Amino acid sequence: MKSIQSRLATGLLISLILVFLILWLAVSNNIQKLSENYIASRLEHDIETLLTAVSFDKENTLTINEKYINSIYNRPFSGHYYTIKHNKTLIRSRSLWDQNLTLPTTINKNYHRTIQNGPENQQLIILSGYFNKKNQDVIINIAEDLTPIIKDISQFKKYFATLSLFILIALLLIQFIVLRKGLKPLRKIHSELSELEKGNINKLTTEVPNELQSIVNEVNHLSLALHNRLKRSRNALGDLSHAIKKPLTMLQNLSDKNKGKFDPDTTEVLTNQISSIQNITDRILKRARIAGTSKLNSPFNINEDLPLLIKTVSTMYSDKNITITSDIPDKLEIQIDREDMLELLGNLLDNAWKWANSAINISIKQENNTIIIIEDDGPGANEEPLNELTHRGVRLDETVSGDGFGLAITSDIINDYSGSLSLSRSEKLGGFKAKILLPIKQVL
C-alpha cells in the first residue's frame, strides 16, 4: 500500500493539473470569443458607415459614395472586405480584387455572423445584415481577417501555459514542503515505533497533534499493559521455581533417608523424577539471573548474551567436557526479543549439551535470512523420528533426563517470528543438527 504522503501528493497533483487544464481551456475559449465579439462590434459600425454611403438614383440603381469608404477597403487583400447586394447588383470592395466571399443564403433583419476562409487563406469573420433604405432591400456583408488576432491569441496561450506550468511546479513544491512538515509527526511516531519494537524506548512521545493523540495514548497504554503482563508472567515463573526448590529439596532428603524402605525400581523412578524437576527449576532460575534487570523487549546482544548463556548451560552439565566452537561475524545484529532468544538458544544448547560427546558448534550468519545452526557430535537420530521432536512431550530416549518440551517451545518461538526450524544429522560432527531461519525483515 502506498504511503499517506504519496497518496496525498498524487491526489493533489491530479487535482492541480485538472484545475489548471480547465482554467487554461476556459481562458483560451473566452479570450477567443471576446476577440471575435470585439471585432464583430467594430464591423457593425463599419456596416452602418457603408449603409450611409449607399444611395439610389431615379432608376433605383445602387451607387456608393466613396468618401465614406475607409481606404483600407481599397488596398488589395488588406484583410478588410465588403460586398453590397441590391437585387441582382453586387458591389465588391477593391480589396477583394478578383475574389468572392461565400455569402449566407438567407439573412434576417438581425446580424448574421460566420467564419470562413477568404483570399490568400485568410480566416475571415463575416458580419451580414439585411436593410431597407428608401424602400430598397440591401444586403451588406463585411469581413475582417482574424489571422493577426489568432496569432496573438496563440502567443497568449503559450505564455499562459508556460506561466501556469511554473505556477503548478511552485505549488507542487509548496505542497511537498507542507506535506513533509504536516506528516513529520507520523514519521516521528514511525521511528519511535521501530525503537519501541527494538526495546530502546518504553513508550511513544505524547507531544503530537490532536489527531494522533488518541492513537499514541492507546499504543502507550497497550505497551505498558503488555510490559506489565509479561513482567508478571516471568516473575511468576521465577517465583514458582523458587517455591518448588524447597519442597523438592525436602522430597530429595526424604527419598535419600528412606531408600531401603522402597523397592529399587520405585526408588530409581522417584530419584529420576525429582532430579528432572530440579534441573528444570535450576535452568529457569539461571535464565532469570541472566535476564537480570534488563528492559523487556530489549534486543538480543550476541557478544554479551551468548557467552553468558553458554556459561550457564555448561554449568548445568559440569560433569561433561565439551568443546565449543563458533562461527559468528563481528557486529552481527539480531533484533529479536532478548528473552525469546534466550529461550530459543537455551533449549537448543541444552539439547546439544545433553547429547554431545565432546564437541558443539554454533554458526550464525545473515544472507536473505538470519541463519542459526547448532550441531553436536552425539549419536544423532534418523530423519523419521526427528520430525516428531517438535511435538510436546516427545523424547527419543527415555533414559536421558528431560521433559520433552524444549524443542516444542523453540518451534513455537520461531513460528511467532515467521521462521522455520529443521532438524537433521550433522554432516560436520555426525550428531544432531538444528537449523533456524528467521526472516531479516521480521527481526531487524
Model confidence pLDDT, tens digit, residues 333-342: 777 777 788 8
Of the candidates 346, 349, 340, 350, the one whose C-alpha atom is nearest the C-alpha of residue 442 is: 340
Report the CATH number that the domain containing residue 433 is assigned in CATH.
3.30.565.10
- Flag whether pLDDT at 237 surpasses 50: yes
Model confidence band, residue 361 (pLDDT cutoffs 50, 70, 90): very high
Q: Measured at the alpha carbon of residue 79, what is the angle toward residues 78 and 81, in degrees to the nearest 5?
A: 95
The residue among 280 and 289 whose pLDDT is bigger is 280
Give the residue-averaged pLDDT of 412-439: 86
Contact between 375 and 361 (Cβ < 8 Å):
yes
Q: What's residue 53's pLDDT?
A: 87
Residue 157 falls inside a structural domain:
no
Report the CATH number that the domain containing residue 112 is assigned in CATH.
3.30.450
Model confidence pLDDT, tens digit, residues 215-233: 888 888 887 777 776 666 6
Question: 278 and 306 share a domain?
Answer: no
Question: 314 and 443 share a domain?
Answer: yes
Residue 191 falls inside a structural domain:
no
Residue 39 falls inside a structural domain:
yes
Q: What's residue 362's pLDDT?
A: 92
Q: How many CA atoms lie within 13 A of 11 on its CB side?
A: 8
Model confidence band, residue 374 (pLDDT cutoffs 50, 70, 90): very high
Model confidence pLDDT, tens digit, residues 156-184: 888 888 888 898 889 888 888 888 888 88
Residue 19 falls inside a structural domain:
yes
Within the chain, what is the greatest distance between any pair of CA atoms?
A: 163
Question: 284 and 229 share a domain?
Answer: yes
Q: What's residue 401's pLDDT?
A: 46
Q: Which of 245, 267, 297 is the last residue of a domain?
A: 297
The secondary structure element, H or E, covering residue 328 is none
Q: Which residue has the cell 561433561?
A: 320
* Residue 166, phi then psi, degrees to nearest 5: -65, -40
Q: What's residue 406's pLDDT?
A: 65
Question: Please, which residues bridge with residue 26 across strands?
Answer: none
Q: What's residue 396's pLDDT?
A: 45
Question: 293 and 305 share a domain?
Answer: no
Model confidence band, residue 283 (pLDDT cutoffs 50, 70, 90): low
Question: 315 and 271 share a domain?
Answer: no
Beta strand spans in 250-306 (E):
299-300
Q: What's residue 360's pLDDT?
A: 92
Q: What's residue 402's pLDDT?
A: 46
Give the residue-averaged pLDDT of 70-74: 86
Q: What's residue 394's pLDDT?
A: 45
Residue 77 falls inside a structural domain:
yes
Q: What's residue 238's pLDDT?
A: 65
Instruction: Calculate what percentage of the chain has a pLDDT beyond 90.
Output: 2
Question: 374 and 412 share a domain?
Answer: yes
Structurally, the chain folds into a number of domains equal to 3
Whole-number mean pLDDT of the chain? 79
Q: What's residue 443's pLDDT?
A: 41
Q: What's residue 63's pLDDT?
A: 83
Q: What's residue 400's pLDDT?
A: 45
Residue 28 falls inside a structural domain:
yes
Q: Which of 267, 297, 327 is the last residue of a domain?
A: 297
Distance separating alpha carbons of residues 288 and 169, to the nearest angstrom: 61
Q: Which domain holds residue 98?
A: 4-152
Question: 214 and 350 share a domain?
Answer: no
Q: Which of 93, 118, 152 is the last residue of a domain?
A: 152
The residue among 400 and 95 whose pLDDT is bigger is 95
Q: What's residue 359's pLDDT?
A: 92
- Flag whether pLDDT at 399 surpasses 60: no
Residue 159 falls inside a structural domain:
no
Model confidence pLDDT, tens digit, residues 302-358: 888 888 888 888 888 888 888 889 888 877 777 777 778 888 888 888 888 888 999
- Flag whether pLDDT at 269 surpasses 50: yes
Question: 222 and 248 share a domain?
Answer: yes
Question: 216 and 110 share a domain?
Answer: no
Question: 244 and 143 share a domain?
Answer: no
Q: Which residue has the cell 568443546?
A: 323
Question: 308 and 240 share a domain?
Answer: no
Question: 442 and 399 share a domain?
Answer: yes
Residue 308 falls inside a structural domain:
yes
Give the residue-averaged pLDDT of 9-30: 86
Q: Is 212 exposed, middle or buried (0-12, 13-18, 19+ CB in 10 A)?
A: middle
Q: What's residue 149's pLDDT?
A: 87
